[in-house]
Structure 1
Amino acid sequence: MTYKCISTWLAMLCLGGTMHAQTADSILTYRVEASGNVSNGTYAPLWLSSNRYGLSSVEPNSGYVRAGINFDKELRHNWQIQAGLDVAATANQTADFVIQQAFADFSWKFLRLSVGSKERPGFPLTKNERLSSGMMVEGANARPVPQVRGEIAEYVAIPGTKGWLSLKGHLAYGMFTDNGWQESFVSAGNTYGKNIYYHSKSLMFRIGNRKKLPAEFEFGLLMATQFAGDQLKKKSDGTSELITDMPDGLKSFFKAFVPMSGGSDTPWGDQVNVEGNHLGSWNFAINYYLKDWKFRAYLEHFFDDHSQMFWQYGRWKDGQIGIEITLPKNRWVSSILWEGMSTKDQTGPILYDSFAGSLGYQISA
């Protein structure tokens, strides 16, 4: 596959190819890809650097050569194994060599245990990967976080509901791998985080039975947390001084799962609020099916504190709405999508948790 996009200020060239080797119960896929951006601006255009899982650059000139291999094998008794390795050599990016994906998935029926770094598009609220700007909490702008993750990836009907109520969700713990970037990026006199742990969870429900009624309603919650780690201050001689050593024991893992206030070994802000950095989104969607057409409207309401999470003080304004129409199969257009996003409220200038001094968490993209 080859395509080229040129304007008066930008040239982009991408080359790629995929090969398959298949037996009766297994598939081996190889992929080789190259991409390059050339422009005369200060930064690369937004849509050439976003939604690439961090394998991109804001620099006007950048590129990469990428190779990957994926193995998928079905076993007896509804077991399945999938594994993948995806690496890239880059130019003008945050690292010269990147392990983009390295994972192994073990599945039994609808249950899956996933270990490693893996690109995970549109979860838990399904969005069009090619057209949407992505999820607000865990989007496709940062590199995959290494993690151990248990999940029900697709909706499963709850017994006894006759197919009218289904659910899906996940639970994951991992660790960020941007220590080197954090240390090199921060300037002298400022602080940064290191060895920070990761936790996320979601639970989504779907009401509807397409065999009886051509409409569905989806709703649920996604939460992500940064916890543990160290806060350091970079000195003028290039060395770093430890400021805060956050707890990282079993109790901290539990407090990441159930947000609770921190103990005396955490900063004051975590003691009066919750330990770690918690954020998330409420997610809603309505689907309507008309013969070969599908109409979908969705809302992702982002929150970063209690007032936004529980819609206190009218904190419903931040979020993303979308309307998507999937057309019957044709050679020209498959989907039409409109999205709107607002981040203007941000809890507002008043009625917020008035404290400071917590550990400075940051996700690098």
Structure 2
Amino acid sequence: MKFLKFFLFLFPMISFSQEFDISGSVEAKAILSNENENPFWFHTNTNYSVGELTNISGIGEVKASLAYSSFKINAGAAVFGRDGVEDAVQRRDLYLQFENSWLFATFGAKKQTEVLDGLSATNQNFLWSGNARPLTGVLLEANNPFKISKTFALDWGIAHYELNDNRFVEGTHVHYKRLALITTFNENHKLTAKLQHYAQWGGTSPVYGDLKDSFKDFFKVFFATNTTEIGLPGETKNSIGNHLGSYFLDYEFKNGLGDFSIYHEHPFEDGSGTRLANFPDGVWGIYFKPKNQKIISSVLYEYINTVDQSGNTTTSGFDGYFGNNIYRSGWTYEENIIGAPFILFDKNVKINGDNTPYISNRSKVHHFGVTGEFSKFQWKLKSTITKYMGTYRKPFIPEWKYWYNYGSLSYKNEKLGTFTVMGGADFSNIANTVVAGGIQYLYTF
């Protein structure tokens, strides 16, 4: 009886010490194009919610959170359906999260947060741009940067993902980690220096059989230790798996005009890249958010270069971004490039032990983006000039030149939802001009 009285006394306290919230959205999109395929920016970096041949797509999403005094639990699911792809209905998100003052843990699959107002060609991540569906795994990261002092703070993250799609090496794992030093000089100047590392490892190859997959091998993957992997006579010692990484620098500052961000991300896949032998490859960008945002909210320019690749005359050259001799599907999920979308992967190539579906990993890209609003209307423009040069071993002659263009205009009504019209036009020296229009409806609750 005493216990019951205590519980009845405590129950109201428990009830009022937590907060439950649930929300969701539904989205529908229709596209009409003069060709079979859609313009580049209609389908690129959409988490595969829209395919190259999609005419109609829809997304349903629901999210819930339960907040306590010292921690919070989040859960979410999102499903999309669209035509023009192999699997019409798929999950985008399915996750459970735990967060407190220092830890943010995600279990499952969740799309990455959109940054820079959705203007960046890579979502400010050369290795994971949002071009493919989110991977399933476990991600542990800092909820807030750990403060070392008033000036310095550390950001960190570590994850394990599984590639469960149909690929050359079945059952491939993905290891991920990042470490960043954030230097806050004062309220107007901040510098972020970040190192991130991905590695594909394990699985079963149709050529080499079961690849190294033990707990001991994981530590070799973690530290990129040189060792043999496939056990062939005379095999060169190298890091187990397919390793990808990048150095990232972002200088943010404010002045009377507004907020600026100047950034560079430098990719590497082997020792030559880590010692910057492939310089100036990577993303060079500037983002500006004006102080006066009457019409223009933000402007972005990025130059993306993947041409150097540490050269083609040394044993450490031919970096061949995103491809790999053992993991021949490379840095893809469901045949969609995971990283920067300007590496060309031919889905019609039947991969075997001798060929590669990567037909171009050398490109030069100029990308522009601007967004703004007036009254209840929001607008966005993107324009991208791209030159694809093929690979060092098989260059494109002539080079493929494309000009991708995209524009949207949205009207938001608090009760009825958001209505969007969009248009796109792609021009090329080797393909027909693609022109398309679309309408989109989004309702949140």
Higher relative contact order (CA 8 A, sep 6+): 2
- TM-superposed CA distance for 1:32, in Å, is 0.7
Query: Which of the residues 239, 257, 264 maps onto 1:274?
Result: 239
C-alpha spacing 1:357/1:337, structure 2 compared with 1 (3 Å): closer
1:62 aligns with 2:55: yes
C-alpha spacing 1:175/1:69, structure 2 compared with 1 (3 Å): same
Output aligned runs, 1:165-204, within 5 Å.
Answer: 165-179=152-166, 182=167, 192-204=168-180
Q: In 2, Cα distance between the equivalents of 1:209 and 1:66?
A: 43
State the match for 1:360 in structure 2. Answer: 328
State the match for 1:297 in structure 2. Answer: 262
State the match for 1:131 in structure 2. Answer: 119
> Which runs of 5 or more structure 1 residues have no equivalent in the other structure?
1-22, 183-191, 233-241
Q: 1:294-337 deviations in whole A, cap 9, x for unaligned?
A: 1110000011211111113xx21210011111112534211111
- TM-superposed CA distance for 1:265, in Å, is 4.6
Q: In 2, Cα distance between the equivalents of 1:228 and 1:110?
A: 31
One-letter amino acid of the counterpart of residue 260, structure 2? F
State the match for 2:102 in structure 1. Answer: 110
Q: 1:27-71 deviations in whole A, cap 9, x for unaligned?
A: 201111112222122432111111111222122x43322111001
Q: In 2, Cα distance between the equivalents of 1:87 and 1:272?
A: 43
State the match for 1:226 in structure 2. Answer: 200
State the match for 2:142 in structure 1. Answer: 152
Equivalent pair of 1:205/1:220 in contact (CA under 8 Å) = yes
SS in 2 for 1:68: strand
Equivalent pair of 1:156/1:167 in contact (CA under 8 Å) = yes
C-alpha spacing 1:354/1:316, structure 2 compared with 1 (3 Å): closer
State the match for 1:45 in structure 2. Answer: 39
SS in 2 for 1:282: strand
State the match for 1:340 in structure 2. Answer: 303
Q: In 2, Cα distance between the equivalents of 1:268 and 1:153?
A: 47
Q: 1:245-278 deviations in whole A, cap 9, x for unaligned?
A: 1121112221221112344655679852111000
Equivalent pair of 1:81/1:105 in contact (CA under 8 Å) = yes
C-alpha spacing 1:291/1:152, structure 2 compared with 1 (3 Å): farther
- TM-superposed CA distance for 1:121, in Å, is 3.1
Q: In 1, Cα distance between the equivalents of 2:235 and 2:45?
A: 32
State the match for 2:7 in structure 1. Answer: none
SS in 2 for 1:37: strand
TM-score, normalised on structure 2? Answer: 0.65
State the match for 2:378 in structure 1. Answer: none
- TM-superposed CA distance for 1:25, in Å, is 2.0
SS in 1 for 2:38: coil
Equivalent pair of 1:57/1:94 in contact (CA under 8 Å) = no
C-alpha spacing 1:164/1:138, structure 2 compared with 1 (3 Å): same
Q: In 2, Cα distance between the equivalents of 1:136 and 1:208?
A: 24
One-letter amino acid of the counterpart of residue 26, structure 1? F
- TM-superposed CA distance for 1:136, in Å, is 1.0
State the match for 2:290 in structure 1. Answer: 327
> Which runs of 5 or more structure 2 residues have no equivalent in the other structure?
1-16, 319-323, 337-445
Larger Rg: 1 or 2? 2
1:97 aligns with 2:89: yes
SS in 2 for 1:256: helix
State the match for 1:86 in structure 2. Answer: 78
Q: In 1, Cα distance between the equivalents of 2:236 and 2:138?
A: 28
SS in 1 for 2:176: strand
Output aligned runs, 1:207-222, within 5 Å.
Answer: 207-211=183-187, 214-222=188-196
- TM-superposed CA distance for 1:85, in Å, is 0.5
1:206 aligns with 2:182: yes
Q: In 2, Cα distance between the equivalents of 1:340 and 1:51?
A: 17
